[in-house]
Amino acid sequence: MPSSTDNCHDVSALCPVSATTLGYYPNLGANAFFLACFAVCAIVTVVIGVWKRTWAFGIVVGAGFILETCGYIGRVMMHYNPWSDSGFKMDLVCIILAPTLICAGIYLTLKHVARTVGPNFSRIKPRLYTWIFIPFDVFCLCLQAVGGGVDAAASDTRPVNQKTLKAGNDIILAGIVLQVVNLAVFGLLSLDFYVAAMKHFHRSPSSSSSDQNSSAARIWYSKRFRIFCVAVSGAYAGILVRCIYRIAEMAGGWGNSIMRNEVLFYVLEGAMVLYPAILLSIFSPGLFFPEMGDAAASVAVPSENEAEKQENSDEGGMIGLRAE
């Protein structure tokens, strides 16, 4: 940003809106809409999480929706003053970090689905999903937070330190790229698990009637569970598209044409996070996959060792198809 605008705090002849990072007045109606929707999703998710005892999912995903709400509060502030430093920082930090928490909630679902439907259909032990993907997701979050902090510090200097600003941007970009890689690996493992489970449960009933009548099979064939899986898959796809968009947005540096395209932001950032938020709120695991709750899991879900022993005794079990 040119030095003549280093001391800009409000729009004026010397500080035009075109000289801001975004280059426009964020639309009040659009941002108020996203703000309200994410606030409702946060309330619904936390309430259902507490009510149905899906604590981890409710807290983590609810926190992500709260961050989204705060991010759009920042954009509403910039509608009234595009030079608002606090508004820009809220937008920058909250909207970048929020999807990382939503991803963590999605990772949790595969762990519980694998434990419930059949640990032997998974390439890795179900408990490892939370030990592998969530810590790596947190690492990506930390990278993006550090990058945002570096950018904020650079913006506070007069004149703005462009070298430091670029370094912060590169750190944020690295965090988003790694997040996409993490999401891609998770998606492949999820698909692999689904194919293995589908092959198992779609075998002829005469080959293993006990399998077809098991509690895992009843869950697999239940409409409620199928709806939940479709909802989570749809949410995953939206977050993945959003992260790919963020790579393109951040790769061009601050104030590039993609970052200044408001419509593109609402379509590939706002909508690609909002519709997953709506799916995860309406088709919450507490309602559509209650086995994920602590109380239900302790009663209905066998331990991994028990499930493995049962699977070993199946006729033509999956041991030969899926390594432990």
- pLDDT digits 0-9 by tens, 72-96: 999 999 999 999 989 998 998 899 8
User: Would residue 8 count as lying in a domain?
Assistant: no
User: Would residue 60 count as lying in a domain?
Assistant: yes
Residue 208: its pLDDT value, please?
53
Could you tell me the pTM of the whole model? 0.84
Tens-place pLDDT, residues 113-130: 999 998 999 999 998 998
The range of the structural domain enclosing residue 161 comes to 20-204+216-285
Residue 159 preceded by cis peptide, ω within 30: yes
CB 125 within 8 A of CB 137: no
User: Would residue 311 count as lying in a domain?
Assistant: no
User: Would residue 51 count as lying in a domain?
Assistant: yes
CATH number of residue 269's parent domain: 1.20.1070
Of 264, 89, 116, 108, nearest in space to 186 by CA? 108
User: Would residue 316 count as lying in a domain?
Assistant: no
Number of domains the chain is built from = 1
CA-CA distances (angstroms) from residue 220 to 39, 113, 206, 209, 283? 32, 9, 18, 15, 16
User: Would residue 32 count as lying in a domain?
Assistant: yes
Per-residue tokens: 291: 């086995």
Tens-place pLDDT, residues 151-161: 777 766 666 67
